[in-house]
């Protein structure tokens, strides 16, 4: 997957403001079940928000990076205990697919 541009990250951060936190990383860290939950959520939604609970031994950055690696997604943002991940879905018939802005200049 191609790295996100700063414009694309800004677009995704804006979209993430309106979504609920669905992943919670606790003291057990990131196990197979949580990674599967994240993977399934990314396939369905493309953009997900997670939070690291107070009793976790991981920081939000560490949790986000590990989940991104395990789900082949990208970290969009980490603020405090929350993080946002993005991965475009492979479903061709998904009606609410996120279309990212492009930084490429058009030829006249």
> What integer pLDDT is reported at residue 108 of this predicted model?
44
pLDDT in tens, the chain (108 residues): 788 999 999 999 999 999 999 999 999 999 999 999 999 999 999 999 999 999 999 999 999 999 999 999 999 999 999 999 999 987 766 667 788 887 665 444
Q: Is the residue at 100 inside a domain?
A: no
Q: Is the residue at 72 inside a domain?
A: yes
Domain around 81:
6-86
Cα–Cα dist 46/25, whole Å: 19
Q: Is the residue at 36 inside a domain?
A: yes
Sign, CA dihedral 100-103-61-80, equals negative
Q: Is the residue at 92 inside a domain?
A: no
> What integer pLDDT is reported at residue 101 of this predicted model?
82
Q: Is the residue at 93 inside a domain?
A: no
The DSSP annotation for 1-34 comes to: -PPPPHHHHHHHHHHHTTS-EEEEE-TT-S-HHH
Q: Is the residue at 104 inside a domain?
A: no
> What residues pair up with 25 in beta bridges, in sequence order?
52
Q: Is the residue at 77 inside a domain?
A: yes
SS3 84: strand
Q: Is the residue at 63 inside a domain?
A: yes
CATH of the domain at 40: 3.30.110.60
Question: How many structural domains is the chain composed of?
Answer: 1
> What integer pLDDT is reported at residue 103 of this predicted model?
66
Please tell me the pTM assigned to this model.
0.87
């Amino acid at each position: 997957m191609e790295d996100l541009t700063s414009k694309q990250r800004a677009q995704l951060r804006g979209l993430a403001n309106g979504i609920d936190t669905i992943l919670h990383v606790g003291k057990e860290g990131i196990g197979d079940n949580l990674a599967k939950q994240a993977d399934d959520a990314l396939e369905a939604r493309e953009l997900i928000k997670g939070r690291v609970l107070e009793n976790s031994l991981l920081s939000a950055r560490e949790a986000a990076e590990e989940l991104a690696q395990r789900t082949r997604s990208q970290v969009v943002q980490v603020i405090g205990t929350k993080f946002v991940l993005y991965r475009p879905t492979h479903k061709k018939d998904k009606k609410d697919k996120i279309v990212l802005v492009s930084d490429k200049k058009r030829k006249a």
